[in-house]
Amino acid sequence: MYEEIKHSEVEVNGVRLHIAEQGEGPLVLLLHGFPESWYSWRHQFAPLAEAGYRVVAPDQRGYARSEQPEQIDAYTLLHLLGDVAGLINALGAEQAVVIGHDWGAPVAWSAAALRPDLVRGVAGLSVPPLPAGPSPLAAARENFGEGFYQIYFQEPGKADAELAADVRASLRRVLCGVQPDGKPRPWVVPEGKALLDTLPEPEHLPDWLTEADLDAMAADYGLHGERAFTGGLNWYRNIDRNNELMQAFKGLRIEAPALYVVGEQDLVNAMVPAPVLSYLLGEVTPNLYRHVRLPDTGHWTQQERPAEVTEALLDFLKHLDG
């Protein structure tokens, strides 16, 4: 079905990254989140390539077919920005439009802020730009308690083992169960419960996710065995470290043209209230082109609403390129 997508590997910053690619023209980088991979952009490749773009989606460091450094501190935001810069260079491009979802969004926003010479346009799905400030984990503890999923992920090996015990089942339960009733609320693990206790087995898959999709993602994640999810979880284990590192750039705005897309039922809305979001977008992205809110859409934006997300991205690219 996706036979036009080409797969290869590049080495950047000493880490081997798998990339999926289609099309020719100006470079568009698609950065996935957790627990996803290049495959989460499967619906966007062909339309963007047909519009005249070279579309490249890496498995980011630690994920799926890409290499997984051992040390937790090898997954800081600055390492991830280095991967983006190295990838643009390795692909022979001078600049790129960088688009990120979930964890990919902070990487995209930060790349636009810190490397404006490389990023000519930026789009974030689900997660808005979040400047450095007080400890994010301390704030999360105060607002959501010790069971908040980002805090639950901090203990090395704990969530890793739970999720890796059955990779396919874990992906199914996370993708289907983070918001089973469509209500935006933070993901919290009750005291005495395990992570997957909060994610019941779905009775059936949503219409945007097939058994073949799960097979494809599980096969890629399974390449890391017991560490199937460890690379992605290590991104969370650098949240406070990232905040410390980014203090040097506090107040830096994103001057590149920007797009923000979020589902109205996305759990991120429970963590970033509307007034805060409006402030962030207004202060951090002065050249915001559009703020798109998708009805009846949860967290897995480009998978749940591929046509609408693709339309928003094509409109944004048209805005950039006339």
Please list the residues that pair with 125 across neighbouring strands: 101, 261
Q: Which of 83, 102, 160, 266 is catalytic?
A: 102
| Structure tokens belonging to residue 72 | 């937790």
Q: Which of 32, 79, 224, 299 is catalytic?
A: 299
Q: Is 102 annotated in the active site?
A: yes
Which residues does the annotation mark as catalytic? 102, 299
